[in-house]
A = this chain, B = another copy of it.
């Protein structure tokens, strides 16, 4: 048959770039930690995401290659301008989704939890619809 997948649009998105989602989660977390306590270390992220420090180290290595994060060995992490911009975009979207869930009657704890998973799958159009709903209602 030899692989003639062609259109199938709509499903591409579902399968696509989990790594990009991870990047967003991480820069968002780094920005948040920097805001909270002025410093962000590998361990902080390991605790926040409930993974080992090794997993964090690996992911950070990728983020460095992507030009989102900078740091020297044994030194705290910093975001590049690019990283900060991504973190900002991500934070805003996350916030909108969170507030939207609250607005439709979801309890805070659940909204906080669900919004983390949902935010990465919300297209600009859907995000706009949520914002519209918040402004209107």
Q: Show the binding face of A for B, using Cβ within 8 Å.
A: 1, 3, 5, 8-15, 18, 25, 43, 46-53, 101, 104-107, 109-114, 116-118, 120-123, 125-126, 129-130, 132-133
Contact = CB atoms under 8 A, between A and B. Distances in A.
A121 B129 contact: no
A interface, over-half SS: helix
A107 to B, nearest CB: 7
Contacts of A12: 50
B104 A5 contact: no
A93 to B, nearest CB: 13
Given A8-B48, A43-B1, A106 B133 contact: no
A123 B105 contact: no
